[in-house]
Structures are given as C-alpha cells and as structure tokens.
Amino acid sequence: MTMDNSKKVIIWIKELRTPFFTCTIVPVTLGTMIAWYEIGIFDLELFALTLIGMIAIHAGSNMIDDYFDYESGADRHPIYDRLESPFFGGSGVLVDGELKPEQVRYASLILFLLGGIIGGYLAIVRGLMILIIGVIGSLFGYFHAKHISARGLGEFSLFLNFGPLPVLGSFFVQTQIFSIGPFLASIPIGILMFCMLLINSIPDYIADKTVEKETIPVKIGRKKSAYLYIILIVLIYVSITISVLFEYIPRGTLIALTTIPLAAVYGKVVLGHSTEPNKMLPANLGTYLLHLSTGILLILGYFLSTL
C-alpha cells in the first residue's frame, strides 16, 4: 500500500469514527448472549451478519451526522479552534478539507444500503420483525443530526438505537421471539448512550446554539444537563438492581455494579466543569469507558450465569 493510499485509509477510519463501533458491538453481543442464557441458542453466522449489518448502519449514521453538522455550520464554529477532542465537534475530516461533503454523504448511503441488504436477508430467514427494527434504526440514524438531535431528541434516539433496538433485535435473530429479559438488560446500555451524547453536547453548547440546534443543553442549560447526567447514571444501577431483584435478569449481572466508583468520579467532573469544555474531557472519555465496561460486565454476568 502506497503512502497516499495509507493516508486515505486513515482519513476514512477517522471519518467512520471506528473506536465508537464498540457502542454497537456491546448491545449486539449482549442480546446474543441473553439468547444463549435464556434459550440455549447461539448461531455464529447469524451473530456475524447481525453485527456487520448494525455496524454498517452505525457507520452510515456517523458519516451522515458529520455531513449535516458540517452543512449547518455547527462543526465549523470558531470555538472548535480552541477545543480538540474526538467526543465533540464531529470527526474534523470535513472541516479540515480531507474529504468532500458529497464523498461522505454518498459513502454513508452505501453503508445504509449494505445494512439494509443484510437486514432484508435476516428478515427473510428469521422473521419480518427484523426488517421493522432495521428500518426504525436506519431512519433514526439517517435523520439523527438534521432533524432528531436538532429538536432535542437526539439522546432519546441513541437510547433506542444503541439500547433496546439492537439488544432485542440480536436476541430475536437468534431465537425468533421477544422477551422481557433482553429489554430490561438493554436499559442500562441505552441510558449510557443517552449520557454519552448528553455529555458530548455540553461542550457543543455554544456552536449548537449559534445554528439553533435545540439539543438538551441548549434547551435547559449546561448546569441542568450536568444534573440530568447524574440522575441518569444513578438510574442505570437502580435498573440493574431492580431487574435482578425481580429475577428478570440473572444475579451474575450485579457484577456491573462494580463500575459505580468510576461513575462517581466522572459525575464529579461533569458537575464541576459543565461550562469548561476542555476540563470535561476526562468525563467524556470516562462515559465512553463506562459504557464499554458496564456492557462487558453485563455480558460477562450472563455468560457466568450460563455455567
């Protein structure tokens, strides 16, 4: 591979925001693991197809978000000249002129098409509900930045798209049924995605307000958004505990409660620096790691409960 081609690959990896694919890998793996725990079923081929299809939709969503935020001017706000983070301000690829907007838009459509083809195949072999879940997820993904997030509903869309929809969808692909267990297990993961976007939108406050993008921080302010973050983090652990007490999810998932000390540290940062974007970076990174670690521990809890 020549130097120019290597540089192009790096640029596209940056545009795809590949480190965040864990936000799809976690719920798909969790739903599949729950199918193994509840029904004793695991089909590797179906799991792989589900994962590839959902990553394709996730990648398409990332790029179309970048495209719409660049076109609106949000990602070109001067504030980002002083801020540098992978958690806010988009990928930076379009702003830096490394790719053309239409290249990103067409690539996103190709990925949505790939996700749709895989979803269509799974719907044929496993049931129509897969197609319905896929269409809902794709619509939320495509219109997230321009219409959904701009109206203050972006966090709710991520809650669904990276919580109940992929967990229930991957569970259904394996079992062809629905169950209360995977739905309840998806709530902590969905809330963490809500929190991730919420905390990433706090540093975007000035830029989003300038282009009249009505995110939650723009609607209620940065300080109240920080308090909302804390409330939601508490709800994550409450939901796990209640679900275990009522025996909807196995006791092994209580291992996820070991992330509480980390959550407390990140919550303190959010409350103390909600108006200081550069000082919030540890909490932005921390929330991502909290999502990853909580998700892995929930998966591990289900795995241990199968033994």
* DSSP per-residue codes, the chain: --HHHHHHHHHHHHHHTGGGGHHHHHHHHHHHHHHHHHH----HHHHHHHHHHHHHHHHHHHHHHHHHHHHHTGGG-GGGGT---TTSS--STTTTTSS-HHHHHHHHHHHHHHHHHHHHHHHHHH-HHHHHHHHHHHHHHHTIIIIIGGGT-HHHHHHHHTTHHHHHHHHHHHHSS--HHHHHHHHHHHHHHHHHHHHHHTTTHHHHHHTT---HHHHH-HHHHHHHHHHHHHHHHHHHHHHHHTTSS-GGGGGGGGGHHHHHHHHHHHHH-TT-GGGGHHHHHHHHHHHHHHHHHHHHHHHHHH-
Q: Which two tokens stand for residue 102?
A: 């239409």
**pLDDT given at position 2:** 57
pLDDT band at 112 (very low <50, low <70, confident <90, very high): very high
Domains observed in the chain: 7-306 (1.10.600)
Least confident window among 4-13, 181-190, 204-213: 204-213
pLDDT tens by residue, 230-281: 999 999 999 999 999 999 999 999 999 999 999 999 999 999 998 888 888 8
Residue pair 287/196 in contact by the 8 Å Cβ criterion: yes
Confidence of residue 79 (pLDDT cuts 50, 70, 90): low
Taking 90 as the threshold, does the pLDDT of residue 200 lie above it? no
pLDDT of residue 146: 61
Greatest Cα pair distance in the chain: 58
Instruction: Give me the percent of the chain exceeding a pLDDT of 70.
Output: 92
pTM over 0.75: yes
pLDDT band, very low/low/confident/very high, at 201 (cuts 50, 70, 90): confident
**20-29, 37-46, 89-98, 99-108 — which is least confidently predicted?**
89-98
The predicted pLDDT at position 81 comes to 46
